[in-house]
Structure 1
Amino acid sequence: MDPFVANPSLITSGDGWTEHISKEGRKYYYNTLTQESQWGKPLSLQTPEEAQILLKTGWQEFSSADGKSYWFHSATKRSVWNTPKEVEEMLKSLKEEREDWPQFKTKDEAKTFLVKLFELKKFPPRISWENASKILESDRRWSCFSILTRGERKQTFAEYMGSRGKRAAEEERQKRKKAKDLMVQNLLDWKELSFKTTYIDVADRFHFEEWWTWMQESERDDFFQEWMFDNEQMFKDKIKQRRRDDVAMLEEILEQNPTEFPFQKKWSEVKEQLLSHPKLQNMMKIDVLQVWEEWVRHGYEQERKQRQAHNFRRERKRRDAFRELLQDAIDKGELSSRTEWASFVRRVEGDARYTAMVGQSGSTPRELFTDAVERLKHHHDNLKHLLKRAAEKAGLDLKDPTLSFNQFYEVVRGLEDVKNINVLHVKNVFESLKGSGELQSSKSSVAHADNKQRNSRSSRHDEASSSSSSSSSSSSSSSSSSSSKAEGRDKERSDRDRDRDRERDKEREKDRDRNRDKTEDSRSRKLHKSYHDRSSSRAREAARDADGEQPRKRRNVEEDRRRRH
């Protein structure tokens, strides 16, 4: 029988079995009587130890082609290279059986070795003394315990079995506890575990584990059901975390592919593309929809903010351009503290820097014009006070009708504060000084004259003019304070513009909420009216039926009366 080769027999038995070596170097066995061959050693060729090992453990030793020994289990068909633990214990027990035990001199010593013999025999848990003694009598070491009476041997056996039962129960309890711990650990490591997982699913996955057999079927099932019930919150948290991870994944996909998924697209246009994405296969459809809605809302919100920022920058540039227009007019002498808005508009109505400001939100052209005029008035007051003092110091008589502007300008033009001032502004101050009749050198008379001159200009600036002309020293400090206030008004107006934009956005949100509430109220009123109309209709029909029933009854009564007559 290939690959067997009929080499000379190494071992023979009386029933025809012989041991041979194949051409691969493996041992095989051939029966000369039945013409059969096999790899495993026949029972007739096995040693007593090999026979007992095969009978009690199911393991049998074989040799591979390279001469290396391995063990094969006849029931489970499992093979291992190393000697199984059961075989090692069996070999140890057989070796101890061959040992010669001495005749014991004391009963305590005899009882100690008797317990050892009980352990070597590995009796089943519920074996009786009679059956155990039969097994012990076949052991040649049993005769060593002649010092003990049969009753003492039985008592020792009972104590041993009781103690072993307790140890076995504790070992079993520890084994079941360890099995539960291992089961929990494996469940926690199972990524596919969910609140829908059944015991059958668990059994299909873990039935091959060693710890699976450490508990009874009913105990495993009950423990699994209790564990699932106790960890319900864990599953809820696990689901929430998975949903959060899916949402984060989808948000990352949208952010990394803005051109593929622009927020201007409709849900119907991207639905199939998102739901079929390989990374979103386990994501709930409602979560995909909600993330897309948030993506669209965020996109339009960013677009609105960008548009708002663009408009703000454009309006700011227009305001800056109009301020440049005002400054150009001041430099040219076309704008002074006495310039009226109407006359200024007629001069600049064709300028693009003015027309761009018309109708713009925020500060109006007139407000910016008013601020510029206010600054000019404060500057005019300061310059007036300065030039007056210079004229008085030079000995000029401002009451002299023959005093010309050229004479006045020749005196004050050398002042440091006058060098960079337009001559027209200096002339306006000169005319103001000449027209006011301020000749007194005292501070109180100067303040009174300034106050009177300002009151004649415009009632709109009464309070500012009177405060600036109360005294020469207080005029200077008031002018600088008012100037700083005027500079601060620009910043306040910019802040006011931003606040106005924010308030406008809030009002739009409120309008949308009010419109939504109105729509819902209207729908509710329509439903209520429809219900009321149906109820009223049924009531009218019932009333008509009732009204028609009464004449019918009267007619029937009259007909009965006529028949009786």
Structure 2
Amino acid sequence: MAKSTPSTTSHGSATATTSASFTCHGLERTYNPEGKKYWFNTVTKQSTWEKPVELLTPEERVWKYSPWKEYTTPEGKKYYSNTNTKETVWEMPIELKEQLDNARKTAAEAMPMPPSAVPPPIALQQQQQPPPQQPIRPMMSTGAPLMSHFVPQQQQAIPEFATKEEAEQAFFGLLRETGVRPDWTWEEAMRAIITKPLYRALRTTAERKAAFHAWADAEAKREREEREQREIKLKNDFFNMLKSQGDTIKSYTRYRTLVKLCGQLPAFTAFQNDDRTREAYFDEYIQSMQRDEKDRLRELRKESMERFSRLLRSIPEIMYKMSWEEAKALYEQKQQEEGITFVGMDMLDFFSVFEEYNRQLWEEPLTELNKRVIARRRKDRKAREGFKGLLRDLVNNHQINVRTLWKEIYPTIKDDPRYIAAVGLPDSTPLDMFWDCIDDLDEQLYQQKKLVYSALRKKKAEESFDVDVDTPFEDFLKALDDVDPRIKEEQVNETNLRFIYEHLQSKAVQRVKDEKRRQEKKLRRKMDKFRHALKHGLKNQPILGTDTWEAVKPRVEHFEEYQELEDDSLREEVFDKYIKRLKEKLENKASGNDEEEDDEEEEGMIKDDEEGLVDDNAASMSSHHRRGRTPSLSRNHHKRSRSRSGRSRSRREFAPPRRDYDDEFEEYDRLNKRRRQTTGGYSSAEEGEALDDYLNEPRRLK
């Protein structure tokens, strides 16, 4: 039967169980297997879900034909809606109320039907037979709504209950009495109980279905608990049977042996041929016995190890420096004298107990040693702090500056108690701490130099001021005061100002030398070009070895190389050197020496080993090395490589001198990366001698 409308079928051929029904005007009211009500026409053999018009009461006809319909909100409040106008109101419309009142009056005034004309409701005869031991699961129908093959003479009465809980309990009792199982579906259960009066203890199908599922869950849980209790009892009885066998059951006993021993006992046969469960319980029991045996052996081994530990402590000859072989001989002798046994222990257990005892013996001497080490470290730290304080005092008294050497302060500090205490320290030696102090001063000078250079740049931008060879120190200080008086008074000390001034003057001197060298090089280049013109410019009438300058001069005056070389004496000098070289070549050729020589290496050419431009770091503020490390900006001794190609030299030949103060900081940052690289050399023999005196000092070797 479809869900929307009941199927049309022959009423006489229906054989399935249905609910009680009655017939009026050829229309029979009945219920489908789901408990839903429908009507069947016994004449036309048609079924319908809606109540036929012939059976409607006057009030029902009003609701059927009226455009107003009654609805209920989820909160249970009723409201009314007009299907034609789509109007919705909370109160019942007046016209609908009047129609309902008239319908009730009409029904009250109508003559009641005689009792004989009304089909009396009668209850179906309920079968009074006990539920079977194995309830039969009802078959599901798949066709149209099935009708009863008989027409009852009277309608069955619907039971009434005071509360819903009582109705549910009655429904639960119906399920139990009918023999419904918890694993049935709702359709199967309904087939079995739909004809029972208590089926309608709950009013709707949804309530019946929910009650059935609740009962099925509770019943399944109850059966599961009963089954678990029964299994627990069987397991306990089986274990008690195994324990009653005493020593007959060992931890290595097999199941087939158990079958021979206990196969006829009630606890064994209670499993009803469930041999797999019995064997699983037996394996569990055997595993429990094996665990108990292992625990017993573990406890026995633990007690033996504690007994052996007490034995070792009772032998005073065992000291923390004693080896295992020596201790073994002692405890074996003691064991034989007292007759002590150690069950469950192997040789590794003996050794582990001795190792733990030996570790405890070492705790006291190690504690004392750690105390001495800590005290020594504290003493060394105080000695280092004292020597650093001595260096700070020397710096404050202007006895140490960035140019100070170790050999210069060694005679001053060699008898100071703070120096003597620092001699021989394992980590930082006095010489190392001295270099650290110089590094700090060097860094301080670097930062102060940045301030001075920044001030000089401002002064240069305002008044074109620059430090050159002739600039006095007073003008240098005055230029700084004009920019920022705090530089001289607070930010930079007088010693570093003097160093910076000397450094700038040395750079100015070097720039003058570079400019002079550059001009000389430029002049040599012009002379070389003129010599080349003398050799190759007169192809038609070459110069001979017997020619004079007065004869050749008119022939070369139009050369560009001749005009670039302004001094006539230099022109004549180039000519004389060329004639001299030409005569030497003729003499070599006449003597049979035909070795060709490179003309490019003749006199007057600029060789590849000529010095290039000045290195800004060549004129540094200090000339001493410290610990053989790559010098910093303030004491740079780095020399440029002289083996350079002529091409790279020509690119820098006419480059202007570098006068920007920032270039020096770039070089300093590059060299500062290698400041920690040390070698074995020293700056001078005097410093090496002073270091030898320090290394060989008897007080240091104590």
Higher relative contact order (CA 8 A, sep 6+): 2
**Structure ranking higher in helix proportion:** 1
TM-score (norm 1): 0.34
Q: Which has the larger radius of gyration?
A: 2
TM-score (norm 2): 0.28
